[in-house]
Structure 1
Amino acid sequence: MTRIILVRHGETTWNIEGRYQGQEDTPLSERGLQQGQLLAEGLRHIPLDAAISSPLQRSCQTCQFCAGLHGLPVATDDRLLEINHGSWEGVLAGDIQKQYPKEIAQWHTEPHRVQMPGGGESLEDVRRRVRAAFDDYATRYQNKTVLVAAHDAVNKAIICDLLGLGMEHFWQIKQDNTCINVLEYNDGIWRIVLLNSTNHLGFLFSGIEQAGL
């Protein structure tokens, strides 16, 4: 069996502002740094064999907090990069609503039909590359536990896919900053053991709805 502890990065300055981040390399906010440290403490006593992160600093630094307590290096995998939001990257959610009213409406109702404007990705693009990564991990890390640090859209897409759900179910999965998900692979079957846990932050659920997603 392969066990993957999948986490989302801590809060960023753009999360606070409600800007679409995509593959822009945004830093953690002060609260995001605190969340990363709390995540690390929450996983301190969980045996980890490897740590892998998106190369973007918000995920990599979150992963490093955790890996450091286990004496592990952090490997990076470009397949874990956040969705490329194209021309929406760096733009406030409210401004996107004004500039792309039809596209943003479809993004929130039919996300599986949206190709991000300006050379961005679709959720299917994200699903394919992240699923390839997870299939590799399942083979490479048999009988091991792997920490994987990624992003909101990445996590939602892979969780949907591993559950056999299409990308039209994307918005039915929530991923809070530094949430913990546990996924297990055994004999060709993936299962979800834990989803969007934030107990390490001191609450069962956040009630936070971020705009720049």
Structure 2
Amino acid sequence: MKLYIVRHGETEWNKARKIQGQVDIPLNEFGRTLAKKTAKGLADIKFDLCYTSPLVRARETAELILAGGTTQIIEDARIEEMAFGEYEGRCCSKKGWELPDEFGRFFDGPDRYQAPEGGEDFAQVKKRTGEFLNELCKKAEYQNSNILIATHGAALAGMLNNIKGRPLTEYWGDGVHKNCAVTEVEVIDGIPKIISENVVYYDDEVEPWEE
């Protein structure tokens, strides 16, 4: 089994550095362009199945990558973006910061991050994304399949944190993946192993999410 895990394309809230969480924000035109270029980069891969977050920015990314094909797309809420409750819609850039100071733990102390009302902490996201991954990797009928997974920054990091067997303190690994970046994972006997990580198929400049 090969998994190709992709973060969704850019949205207007990405550009404005607003926290999206589970607010259903669509791709912008640049985000659609990134997805189409990613489709060209993955054109040699025949996808047998696709899992996507139910949020439109992830589903549209999947649909653009699979454009013209007949690959089945299955929505799974376990790979939806992290919920931020009352923080959703607020700016998290250094220049436009609209959050409590303790939100800084989101970046530099995920094990100490306190979820706001209606939100999730990192342990919760790691648990649900890990359950999704474990269930998928054990499906005998998919052992020879190429599977596209369209998800989000924090959810994707949760999956990779599970695969790497790292603690919550290292949740972000090398940082938030770029929009439409692809991580390839090979699954043998139910065990996932990362082959390549955060690979992009475009030359466009995309500012780091943290800025």
* TM-score normalised by length of structure 2: 0.91
Measured in 2, the distance between the counterparts of 1:96 and 1:134 equals 36
Cα deviation code 1:78-100 (max 9, x no counterpart): 11110001111011115984540
Change (3 A) 1:138 1:88: same
State the shift of 1:173 in Å.
3.0
**Secondary structure at the counterpart of residue 69 of structure 2:** coil
**Who is 2:173 aligned against?**
172
**Secondary structure at the counterpart of residue 63 of structure 2:** helix
Measured in 2, the distance between the counterparts of 1:135 and 1:67 equals 24
Query: Which structure has greater helix proportion?
Result: 1
Measured in 1, the distance between the counterparts of 2:23 and 2:170 equals 25
Instruction: Give the unaligned 5+ runs of structure 1.
Output: none
- Tell me, yes or no, if the aligned pair for 2:130 and 2:159 is still in contact at 8 Å: yes
**Who is 1:4 aligned against?**
3
| Alignment size in residue pairs | 207
Could you tell me the percent identity over the aligned residues?
Answer: 28
**Secondary structure at the counterpart of residue 172 of structure 1:** coil
**Who is 2:160 aligned against?**
159
What is the root-mean-square deviation in Å for CA atoms of aligned residues? 1.9
Measured in 1, the distance between the counterparts of 2:15 and 2:9 equals 11
Counterparts of 1:161-200 in structure 2, within 5 Å, are 161-174=162-175, 175-198=177-200, 200=201
Amino acid at match of 1:58: R
Amino acid at match of 1:144: S
- Tell me, yes or no, if the aligned pair for 1:67 and 1:73 is still in contact at 8 Å: no
- Which stretch shows the higher mean deviation, 175-184 or 108-117? 108-117
- Which stretch shows the higher mean deviation, 107-116 or 42-51? 107-116
* TM-score normalised by length of structure 1: 0.90
Measured in 1, the distance between the counterparts of 2:135 and 2:173 equals 26
Amino acid at match of 1:111: P
Cα deviation code 1:25-45 (max 9, x no counterpart): 001111001011111111111
- Tell me, yes or no, if the aligned pair for 1:8 and 1:150 is still in contact at 8 Å: yes
Measured in 2, the distance between the counterparts of 1:189 and 1:88 equals 36
- Tell me, yes or no, if the aligned pair for 1:85 and 1:120 is still in contact at 8 Å: yes
**Secondary structure at the counterpart of residue 68 of structure 1:** coil
Counterparts of 1:56-75 in structure 2, within 5 Å, are 56-75=55-74
- Tell me, yes or no, if the aligned pair for 2:138 and 2:190 is still in contact at 8 Å: no
- Tell me, yes or no, if the aligned pair for 2:14 and 2:209 is still in contact at 8 Å: yes
Q: Does 2:127 match 1:128?
A: yes
State the shift of 1:197 in Å.
0.2
